[in-house]
Structure 1
């Protein structure tokens, strides 16, 4: 294992401290926790947004803490859900009296621990709402989930719900908008190579020299098939077709596209994928309102990608366009 670390047991804490050292005017780390919050938190009169999960998916979720997106991100150990007490600390840190929305990816540990934290907060009089993102169309159940997994489409939930909260929407309104995004976003990914959790020291799964896995999850969960290496065009068509079918996209619909790298995929390759995605949508007379290409939700150093499609209406377009200023997403 070759990694730029000091100690496999301290990678998360050192990463978070490094982020704050680089951006002290934007972020603060709550003492004795793995919770990063906006430097100006809590923002008076604003619904607080909290998300998080296991580390190793950077820039998710700490990279989205800031104006127009999240108020706090809670980092668990690598690929491990944060504990309820850590999430509880995040809720308390961002609550200004207007309530807090928890944005949870659909993994069993995340759902359980965030819900326990919500119960702790509600016992102290904090109004908490929860949404669960399950955008991955690859498989219905996996190693970590009951139902569909939450993957890169979560970033678009952060963006649009965050815009609504920044505008002063109520907790009920922000929750409804977050659920609207969840109902209209779908994703699917694939892997070219495995990744190595620092504390384990060896790859979490294996793929042959010319083998890829379609539908692979962001923690290395099994996909729908292993196959020989294919062209970028073929992979784009496979992933996008399943996503569009699940969303029931029709002619003249407007969509936002997110082409996401999993940690070790060059931008060159992501843009090649996007070229085919744009071509397919043009052939089907689907209007691309906006496209995001880059690393938004990774899996350590896994090579691979995911494609997310968000079906838009006027409200979602306006919120997608709203100002955001975070480390990993600016508008």
Structure 2
């Protein structure tokens, strides 16, 4: 294992210290916690809190700021933060208009965030929650009951963050989020697995000429292992799965996210996006926005994921709403 770290058990704390040092004009760390919170909060607006295990940077701390998250709570690598840490995030984020939790669908995250919600409500804070389960590759995988929450979570952060910034109520944001989550779907492919610092070896083994469709962001198994394919062939496979999941209809409008999983150069992400464009050109649907970059990573995993969101109502305006965060 080759990593630029010190002690493996100190990576999260030291990462957060470096993150705040680099971005102290926008964010701060709540003392004695793993909570990153907006430095300049606005009163009487719904607060958004997300988080989960570390190793997915820039998610989630990189999306804390005006127009996206109010606070992010980091757990240890690929491990949910504790209920007490999430509670501190809720308390730090609360602006007086309630808090909406955005939770990726992993058993530990759901359990701990829901426990924190109950603790916060006992202290008089109004809290709602959304569970994002956008990964269509497999169901009931490692760490998960049902579909996993992956890069589509970032789209939820962006659209709901805009709604909060524009003054939408907690009740209306919960309703919007429920509809949005239904229309966000993702699927990925990996050429190599992630290596957790405290483990010291990849989460699974792929031969030099192998890749795996449908791998999760914690190195969970996918649905098919095969010889390495071209970018064009990978795009054809992933778009076909998303087409089936959405049942594309003529005239529909989508947003598109190509997400690098940690060790994939932007060059390759753009090549893949070009191939996705060619696949979608064969369908009678339009693409209203495109986003490319490493936004929901898996440490040093080499691979990409593809997310589509079927746009409804005024969602495009919310996507285009300006933000002031470190990693958008």
Is TM more than 0.5 here?
Answer: yes
Partner of 2:102: 103
Distance in 2 separating the partners of 1:274 and 1:143: 29
Deviations 1:207-230 (A, max 9, x none): 011010100000000000110100
Distance in 1 separating the partners of 2:95 and 2:161: 15
| Mapped contact 1:53–1:110 kept (Cα < 8 A) | yes
Partner of 1:36: 36
| Mapped contact 2:235–2:279 kept (Cα < 8 A) | no
Distance in 1 separating the partners of 2:146 and 2:312: 26
Partner of 2:307: 308
The structural deviation recorded for 1:174 is 1.1
Distance in 2 separating the partners of 1:4 and 1:39: 29
Partner of 1:7: 7
Partner of 2:141: 142
The structural deviation recorded for 1:313 is 2.1
Partner of 1:85: 84
TM-score, normalised on structure 2? Answer: 0.99
TM-score, normalised on structure 1? Answer: 0.98
Aligned CA RMSD, in angstroms, stands at 0.8
Distance in 1 separating the partners of 2:246 and 2:49: 27
Distance in 1 separating the partners of 2:88 and 2:98: 14
Which range moves more in the overlay, 317-326 or 82-91? 317-326
| Mapped contact 2:66–2:165 kept (Cα < 8 A) | yes
Partner of 2:59: 60
Is it true that 1:221 corresponds to 2:220 in the alignment? yes
The structural deviation recorded for 1:97 is 1.5
Distance in 1 separating the partners of 2:246 and 2:82: 33
Deviations 1:186-240 (A, max 9, x none): 0000110112101111111100110101000000000001101001011111111
Deviations 1:161-197 (A, max 9, x none): 0000000111011111222221111000011011210
Partner SS for 1:136:
coil
Stretches of structure 1 lacking an aligned partner (at least 5 in a row): none
Partner of 2:293: 294
Partner of 1:231: 230
* 1:205-284 equivalences in 2 (<5 Å): 205-284=204-283
Which range moves more in the overlay, 62-71 or 318-327? 318-327
Distance in 1 separating the partners of 2:142 and 2:313: 37
Partner of 1:48: 47
Stretches of structure 2 lacking an aligned partner (at least 5 in a row): none
